[in-house]
Amino acid sequence: MKRACGLPDRRTNAITRLLKIGKVSVVQLLTVLLVAVMCFVEGMAQQGSGVQKLERDERYLFYISGYIVTAENTRPTSPKFGVYEYKKILEAFEQRGFIVISEARTQSQEIEPYAKKVAAHVRQLLEAGVPPQNITIVGASQGAWMAMLVSTYVANRDLNFVFLGACAAEDGLLNLVDLYGNVLFISERTDKRGSCERFREDAKGVGNYKNLELNTGQKHGFLYRPLNEWVESVVQWAHANHSAGR
């Protein structure tokens, strides 16, 4: 099958092998992968009959990392919470069968521009014929705030969203957010406290909703590593038949 933009495979097995033997940098590979996947999706969406060739039955997962991860440092260390295992988190979802789309972005306090970028990529998948229930957007810490905006911008009740460590966000975010989709909040009992329910109260398009509190004892660092407690919860949420619960 001819692949747009030269994407060699629908999965990242080859790229993972290269990472393990250290032939290229993590930043280079993640950048190339993101561009290739997005170009592939855009190309399929524009080809008419070629849309039929897109892997519509696959599960797509967008992962938006916390603020500490940057294009210059994809394995940063926090004095309080330890090493952010960005690569291992991506690999955890790849190993569970997802086509993972992620980017170590340029560090910025502004969350709206990057949220709009991700929202555009999600729309490309939808326009290419991927069912919304096969798309899950996961955000951690600042990335969770961005994921909330993606939910607001795309406004599709059947997309799946998981927000990790997001409940302590300032009230000003409420003015920007109007949640849509099947929403799972994951918080940690020993992390900074905040109400997740306030984001649901005035939301117009929330389908299924769940608020899960973990107790790992790792404070905000719970989202720095691919702990089974939250990774498996994300996988279950992505595979759930949410329409049956409405």
What is the CATH classification number for the domain harbouring 138?
A: 3.40.50.1820
- pLDDT confidence of 164, banded at 50, 70, 90? very high
Q: What number is the average pLDDT over the span 43-63?
A: 64
Percent of the chain at pLDDT exceeding 90: 66
Instruction: Name the more confident of 174 and 183.
Output: 183
pTM of the full structure? 0.78
In total, how many domains does the chain have? 1
Residue with tokens 């306090």: 109
CA distance 38 to 44: 10
Decide if pLDDT at 53 tops 80: no
CA distance 245 to 218: 32
Instruction: Name the more confident of 218 and 17.
Output: 218
Q: What number is the average pLDDT over the span 223-239?
A: 98
Q: What number is the average pLDDT over the span 83-109?
A: 97
CA distances from 97 to 60, 73, 107, 132, 210 (A): 9, 26, 29, 17, 23
* Residue 11 resides in a domain: no
Q: Cβ(181)–Cβ(205) under 8 Å?
A: yes
CA distance 167 to 71: 26
Q: Which residues pair with 185 in a beta bridge?
A: 163, 211
Positions of E strands within 67-113: 77-78, 82-83, 98-102
* Residue 3 resides in a domain: no
CA distances from 36 to 98, 124, 157, 181 (A): 16, 13, 28, 27
* Residue 199 resides in a domain: yes
Domain that holds residue 81: 18-241
pLDDT digits (tens, 9 = 90+) for 121-149: 999 999 999 999 999 999 999 999 999 99
* Residue 10 resides in a domain: no
* Residue 1 resides in a domain: no
